[in-house]
Amino acid sequence: MTATPGRARPDLLRATLLVLAAACLWGLLGIFGKAAQRLGLGPLEVAFWRAALGGGLYLLHAAVTRAALPRGRDLLFTLLFGVLGVSVFYASYQLAVRAGGASLASVLLYTAPAFVAIMGGLFLQERLGARELGAVLLTLGGVALISLGGGQGVQVSAAALGWGLCAGFTYSLYYLYGKLFFSRYAVPALYGVALPFGALLLAPLTTFSHKSGPAWLLLLTIAVFSTYLAYLAYSAGLKRLPATRTSVIASLEPVVAALLAAALFGEHLSLLALLGAALVVGAALLLSTG
């Protein structure tokens, strides 16, 4: 049975709202992370609790739905993803927030599509044509302009750029991992293994501090809203929307982060840095319409 046009429109609207919600929740991640760090938590502790609490929610979800967990070789790949896609990614993103600010970290995260284009050509035999090369050059130019532009409340340093690009690179691994496993296992089952393992690896590197009630509330908000619900909303929307439209909507994430960082923390990218940010997001959109 095919869906009628009248039924399809509400479904598309609902899917669009789900992806928009995911983009906003991800845009809040740097804001919540910076607020938690201002309450005395270190970047690695924020990353640890995001992985531990978010992973616990996914594991509970997988248990309730009786989703099959990865085994054998698939389990090994999932654990490796937990190392790079969780431990390194979560830590580098929070370190980028501390070093340069929430808005800068969010923009640099969107270098991920350029890394995807390069790795897709190297490892997945995907076409690396003029569009992909152009997007990579736009991304490089954008990062260069950001490094030269800076801004008020934004610290463009080697550490900020390095951690931000590391976050972009490790975030790009979600695409490669998803290509291999998202059609074979339920997302909560995969994240229910990868996130707790990532938290386990972060634990020895983390200095745990005494946490106030507001600090715990921020950590729970990051885990529930910017991790668990964000990925569920995005995956649900992606099932009913074309990948191109989904990517365009998701690119609102750094816009949300920049606006909130300006309002709450006084972060303002300079005009030159804003141009660089536009090039980075534009490169992501260019790849999404390929």
Q: Is residue 6 scored above 60 in pLDDT?
A: no
Contact between 62 and 192 (Cβ < 8 Å) = yes
Section 24-51 average pLDDT: 96
Rg of the chain in Å (alpha carbons): 19
Q: Domain map of the chain by residue range?
A: 15-288
Give the pLDDT confidence score for residue 211 in this predicted structure: 96
3 state DSSP class of 5: helix
Q: Is residue 123 scored above 80 in pLDDT?
A: no
3 state DSSP class of 120: helix
* Burial call 2-29: b when 16+ CB within 10 Å, e when fewer: eeeeeeeeeeeeebbebbbbbbbbbbbb
Residues 6+ apart with CB under 8 A from 132: 117, 118, 121, 287, 290
Give the pLDDT confidence score for residue 149 in this predicted structure: 82
pLDDT tens figures, 138-170: 888 988 888 888 788 888 899 999 999 999 999
Contact between 24 and 228 (Cβ < 8 Å) = no
pTM of the model: 0.88
Residues 6+ apart with CB under 8 A from 5: none
Q: Is residue 73 scored above 90 in pLDDT?
A: yes
Q: Is residue 110 scored above 90 in pLDDT?
A: no
The Cβ of residue 130 has, within 10 Å, a number of other Cβ atoms equal to: 7
